[in-house]
Amino acid sequence: MAWSAKELAISCLAGATHFSGLAGPVRRLTRSKIPILTYHSVSTPEGDVPSCLDLTRMRVTPREFRRQMEYVARHYNTVTLEAVLLSRSSESALPPHSCVITFDDGYLDVYENAVPVLEEFGLKATFFVIGRPTASRELPGLHAVHEILDRAPVTRCVSAFRKAAPDFFSTGSATKNDLCQRVSHYFFEWDRSTRIRFLDVVRAELGSETTRVYRFMEDRHIRELRDRGFEIGCHSMDHEHMTQLSDDELRADLRQSREVLGGLLGGAPSLFCYPFGNFDARVIEALKREGFACACTTTSGLNDQSTNPFALYRVGVYTGTNFPLFVFRLVGLEARSRQLYKLFKSALARKGLN
């Protein structure tokens, strides 16, 4: 995936910061700030064709992950989200250079490839689990489409997608990346019944396969993580855009996700992570009513005692995040650079120079 000029500039800044040694002083200046790292899949790509995990930048390789965790272990004290919440009520002070590590979705490869590294370095982590794969082994809608794209030839997918949604895209050829990006776009715009009909038609056209491309943790894996001292949180029941749900749908999704994990763990989690980072004031109020204590976003930045516990910033680690960029994000410089860039653009616009 090609980088934009802004992303290229940030990558150059990250490299200059890393190789000049400036990351160390910045890290010391932000020792009271709390980065919350975000991961999805920790796995090795297979074959020459990028999977949807790569096209959506949701994969970090085990080698990259190990190097990143070595840095975290050397420079930070990992804590749980529960510890962060307790520190807000002065019940327990956090150590300097506190850091939270989180994993979204509940991929089995994280259990297989990331957990051994975490335990080797003595690092704490939080796992946000989607309820549906845990409860019924069914994939959430977007994950199901990605699995189809990774399993079937692109030409067959194009034909099936066009039959399921004639206005899905204009006539002509399409690449796997085109399909992946458009699916993400349309799944945000379509209501739930439209998405279900789309999947039904596509599956009827392409046939059903029993081989899983996306494997999620099972009950025993999640319980074992809890027993080994890791923290478990909810990532919704069906990985929907929460702001697109009606009040009843929203309440049912949150309640079911807590019930699934609560029945599995012997106590309902109070931690939440917004699918796609999608939330608003109505979603926050629903979370509070259902007994959640905090929620993580996908907004880049570091946290302190003034951060809204239902709008916690995170530091995304994605496909293509090289090591200098990882450090640049971890110490908070990328978020700050983007803020300064927006201010600069606004200033130019006010002067009519943009």
Secondary structure in 3-state letters for the chain? CCCCHHHHHHHHHHHHHHHHCCHHHHHHHCCCCECEEEECEECCCCCCCCCHHHHCCCEECHHHHHHHHHHHHHHCEECCHHHHHHHHCCCCCCCCCEEEEEEEECEHHHHHHHHHHHHHCCCCCEEEECHHHHHHCCCCHHHHHHHHHHHCCHHHHHHHHHHHCCCCCCCCCCCHHHHHHHHHHHHHHCCHHHHHHHHHHHHHHHCCCCCCCCCECCHHHHHHHHHCCCEEEECCCCCCCHHHCCHHHHHHHHHHHHHHHHHHHCCCCCEEECHHHCCCHHHHHHHHHCCCCEEEEEEECCECCCCCCCCEEEEECCCCCCHHHHHHHHCCHHHHHHHHHHHHHHHHHHCCCC
190, 206, 222 - which closes a domain: 206
Q: Which of 82, 104, 132 minimizes the C-alpha distance to 252?
A: 132
Cα-Cα end-to-end distance for the chain: 27
CA–CA dist 255, 261 (Å, integer)? 10
Q: Are residues 26 and 51 in the same domain?
A: yes
Residues 184 and 234 in one domain: no
Decide if pLDDT at 6 tops 80: no
CATH of the domain at 108: 3.20.20.370
Shared-domain flag, residues 226 and 159: no
Both 58 and 201 in a single domain? no
Q: How many domains would you assign to the chain?
A: 2
Does one domain contain both 130 and 145?
A: no
- What is the per-residue pLDDT for 345? 67
Rg (CA), the chain: 21
Whether residue 237 is predicted with pLDDT greater than 70 in this model: the reply is yes
Of 206, 232, 258, which marks where a domain is finished?
A: 206
Alpha-carbon torsion 137, 299, 193, 210, what sign?
Answer: negative
* Beta bridge partners of residue 168, listed in sequence order: none
Mean pLDDT, range 222-237, rounded to an integer? 98
Quick one: pLDDT at residue 125?
A: 98
Min mean pLDDT across 5-9, 30-34, 87-91 is at 5-9
- Same domain for 173 and 278, yes or no, is no
Are residues 318 and 190 located together in one domain of the fold?
Answer: no
Higher-confidence position of 186 and 113: 113
Residues 80 and 125 in one domain: yes
Domain that includes residue 10, residue range: 5-137+214-350
Q: What is the mean pLDDT of residues 198-218?
A: 85
Q: Which region among 87-101, 242-256, 271-285, 288-302 has the lowest average model confidence (pLDDT)?
A: 87-101
Judgement on whether residues 274 and 178 belong to the same structural domain of the protein: no
Residues 126 and 154 in one domain: no
Q: pLDDT tens, 165-178?
A: 887 766 667 889 98
Q: Decide if pLDDT at 68 tops 80.
A: yes
Count the neighbouring beta carbons within 10 Å of the beta carbon of residue 180: 23
Residues 321/329, Cβ–Cβ less than 8 Å: yes
Mean pLDDT of the chain, nearest integer: 91
Q: Domain ends where: 206, 228, 250?
A: 206
Same domain, 62 and 174: no
What percent of the chain stands above pLDDT 70? 93
Distance of alpha carbon 174 from alpha carbon 60, whole angstroms: 26
Q: Are residues 23 and 164 in the same domain?
A: no
